[in-house]
Amino acid sequence: MLQDMTPPQHRLVHRQVLVLRVNPLGLLYDGRFMYRFRLYGSDRPALRDNFIGVGIAPGASPAFGRIGAYVEFQPASFIGFWSVYEYVQYFSTFNLLQGWRDAQDNFSDTAIRERSNERFMAGGTQWTLGMNLQAKVGVIVGRALFRWVRPDFALKPGDAVEYDQFYDTLMPNRGWAMFGDVDIFAQLPIGLIAGARTTFAVPFYGPQHLDPSQPAPNNAHVRVGPAVGWQFFTRDGAGLNNPTLFLLIQWWAMHRYRTGADTSAALPCITLAFTMTGDFFDVGAKPVSPTEEPKPAPTPISPER
């Protein structure tokens, strides 16, 4: 077993994620830079990683840039709560930003391309509330990440929803949507990670987001598929820790346009991501040998946007 050290009382940490995705297409950098204050000392794996933290959350893609304030409360290793309030600026590139009058409108890839002249440069704020859960038994890790997101963008007059490429749905402007990733995988001491992920999205529309003359839309979606990764090493407390490469292939089990209506159901969402964490100051870095039990890797490819 890995002999974990109790984290220091004060800690400056970072987490970096770089994601490349197709169907839908996307390239994203997501970062976290945070001060953490340990709540209590414990060497028990289920309790040792406890803290309250504050920091900043930068992010960028070819279509937008964003910066936000980040707070996190993790009372134990297996559960955490967090929130990001950020400003997002779209650059009017890659057919974004686009707004629609109501959630019944067509937001397929074909429609987005055909409406490229409708894109515009705009900004606004976005508030995200999140909850993380995880458990580990032997080499098996179960983990879930849930997000509740509220965008507030300066859309064109008359528009009530906007297409969010990251979440791949029509987001209710000044309304809420829920998203989740549920993972189960094996994490082997040699660094191999293999398992599966289920991803879902559920937007919640109010009367202001809907055309009352049309049936209510089903803009929720679900995708499922295998995930494999390689964690190069673990050095708890080092400036570069847990560098991990992930490949995720998910088929769309439910989507308004990606199960045959616009895109073939045989075409999966393919995601390649690199993640790493670390401390700005060395707090007693301890390498993990191949014979020791590794700590769970960062949640695979889930930028906490």
Distance CA 229, CA 217 (A): 36
DSSP-derived secondary structure for 57-117: EEEE-SSEEEEEEEEEEEEETTEEEEEEEEEEEE-S-TT-S-EESSTTS--SHHHHHHTGG
Taking CA atoms, 196 is separated from 91, 143, 185, 250, 305, in Å, by 35, 11, 6, 9, 21
User: What residue type is 238 in one-letter code?
Assistant: A
Contacts of 108 (CB under 8 A, 6+ apart): 256, 257, 261, 262, 263
pLDDT of residue 300: 52
Phi and psi angles of residue 110, each rounded to the nearest 5 degrees, phi first: -65, -45
* Domain 10-287, CATH among 3.20.20.80, 3.20.20.30, 2.40.160.40, 3.40.50.720: 2.40.160.40
pLDDT beyond 60 at 292: no
Q: Of the given ranges (139-143, 183-187, 233-237, 259-263), which has the lowest mean pLDDT?
A: 233-237
Q: Which residue has the tokens 């279509």?
A: 63
Distance CA 32, CA 34 (A): 6
pLDDT of residue 237: 84
pLDDT of residue 294: 46
Quick one: what percent of the chain has pLDDT higher than 90?
84
Phi and psi angles of residue 209, each rounded to the nearest 5 degrees, phi first: -100, 0
Quick one: what percent of the chain has pLDDT higher than 70?
90
pLDDT beyond 50 at 153: yes
pLDDT beyond 80 at 51: yes
Pair 163, 200: CB distance under 8 Å: no
Distance CA 40, CA 267 (A): 48
pLDDT beyond 70 at 3: no
Q: What is the mean pLDDT of residues 193-211?
A: 98
What are residue 231's DSSP bridge partners?
Answer: 244
Residues 155-201 have pLDDT tens digits of 999 999 999 999 999 999 999 999 999 999 999 989 999 999 999 99
Q: What angle do CA 91, 96, 98 make, to 5 degrees?
A: 125
The model carries a pTM of 0.91
Contacts of 91 (CB under 8 A, 6+ apart): 62, 63, 64, 65, 121
| Closest among 34, 39, 62 to 49, alpha carbons compared | 39
* Count of helices and strands (H, E) across the chain: 1, 17
pLDDT beyond 80 at 301: no
pLDDT of residue 6: 78
Distance CA 40, CA 200 (A): 35
Residues 12-33 have pLDDT tens digits of 999 999 999 999 999 999 999 9
* Confidence category of residue 11, pLDDT binned at 50, 70, 90: very high
Q: Cα dihedral angle (253, 137, 241, 183), rounded to 10 degrees?
A: 10
Residues 67-79 have pLDDT tens digits of 999 999 999 999 9
